[in-house]
Amino acid sequence: MPSSKKNSSRRKGKKAAAISGASNNNNGVEHDAVLERAIALAAAEKRTLDKAAAEEKAKESVAGSKCKHGYDPSPIEARFCNNFMAKFMDAINSARKRHDNEHSLALAFDSIFGKPCPKGAKEIATIERAASFCLSIGTQNLLDGDYDCARQNASMGCFFLEIVPTVMLGTKANIDWPKIMELNYADLRTLISFYRKRTHHCSCLDKMYKEVKSMKKMGICYNPECGLSNRKAERSTMLHCTQCRCANYCSRECQAADWPRHRDGCVETAECTERVKKIVKIAT
Ligand SMILES: [Zn+2]
Ligand SMILES: [Zn+2]
Ligand SMILES: [Zn+2]
């Protein structure tokens, strides 16, 4: 296009004049040369820095996508675990149509393993791997900002982690149902702490943890009639039932109000805890 050509040639002319004008003054030439060198150096340095930053970012994303957050099965184990989890999820979904979350987990487990469940090394490995699987997926959920899925996977992972010492090994008296249920509604701080403590092999959640570290951990009052919004209370101020150590309350009033309901379960839980403590003591 003729008009643009004209413009560019005019610009070139101006530039040439500026350079020749500067060359009339020796100081000016030196000054310009120093300035130009500095600009060139700064530009080169920026290019190097940009390149390094881009490389670092690429490395990070490769490491991030490669990290399995502690779940590292062989291909055969992975296939087996995927099948088990698919079966377990089907069982949970059909149980959920008729029962609450707590019962659904237990029923799904019973429907796969039968009652009493087998306690061989193979079954224990299956459950441990399933726990590791849930923790890995849940950690990734957190990193992706999918907090509801992270809560569900935490609850399910916690259930598998509780099953092994209680039902299978008999080294722990009771499944910690309050904790399993609480994770379904957990605040971000509780959730991130839960995953971070259990995926010892990776540091993927360190940055997130730093951001929420100063937040208060919240617990859920065990009294179903608790008047607090969503029954949530600051965990460090909650009271624990000293007999069973499984029920947490926001206040003395809630503990007293819930006692008629909790009493039977509390005695049973406490007795079972004592029994297992004795067995473990003899065994060790
Ligand atoms: Zn990781
Ligand atoms: Zn309460
Ligand atoms: Zn109790």
Residue 56's pLDDT is 65
Mean pLDDT score, 18-31: 49
pLDDT category at 274 given cuts 50, 70, 90 is confident
Tell me how far the alpha carbon of residue 234 lies from the centroid of ligand 2, in angstroms.
11
The answer on pLDDT for 142 being more than 70 is yes
The answer on pLDDT for 146 being more than 90 is yes
Q: Which helix (H) or strand (E) holds 181?
A: helix 177-183
The answer on pLDDT for 5 being more than 70 is no
pLDDT category at 16 given cuts 50, 70, 90 is very low
- 214: alpha, beta or left? (left if phi > 0; alpha if psi -120 to 50): alpha
Tens of pLDDT, residues 53-103: 777 666 555 554 579 998 989 999 999 999 999 999 999 888 888 766 667
Question: Minimum mean pLDDT among 4-8, 34-38, 223-227, 240-244: which range?
Answer: 4-8
Looking at all shown ligands, the one closest to residue 60's CA atom is 1
Mean pLDDT score, 30-38: 70
Look at residue 242 and give its three-state secondary structure.
coil
Tell me how far the alpha carbon of residue 264 lies from the centroid of ligand 3, in angstroms.
9
Taking the CA atoms of 80, 86, 88 and 91 in sequence, report the sign of the dihedral they define. Answer: negative
| Degrees to nearest 5, angle at CA 188 with 183 and 192 | 80
Residue 59's pLDDT is 59
Tell me how far the alpha carbon of residue 185 lies from the centroid of ligand 3, in angstroms.
22
pLDDT category at 253 given cuts 50, 70, 90 is very high
Helix axes 75-96 and 101-113, enclosed angle (nearest 10) = 130
The answer on pLDDT for 186 being more than 70 is yes
Tell me how far the alpha carbon of residue 182 lies from the centroid of ligand 2, in angstroms.
14
Look at residue 47 and give its three-state secondary structure.
helix
Q: Which helix (H) or strand (E) holds 219?
A: strand 218-220
- Alpha-carbon Rg of the chain, whole angstroms? 31
- Give the whole-number percent of the chain exceeding pLDDT 90: 40
pLDDT top residue among 41 and 257: 257
Tell me how far the alpha carbon of residue 53 lies from the centroid of ligand 2, in angstroms.
51
Looking at all shown ligands, the one closest to residue 242's CA atom is 3
Tell me how far the alpha carbon of residue 67 lies from the centroid of ligand 1, in angstroms.
5
| Long-range contacts, 207-211 (Cβ 8 Å, 24+) | 208/142, 208/143
Tell me how far the alpha carbon of residue 238 lies from the centroid of ligand 2, in angstroms.
9
The tokens of 139 are what?
Answer: 């950690």
Boundaries of every domain in the chain: 71-215, 217-284
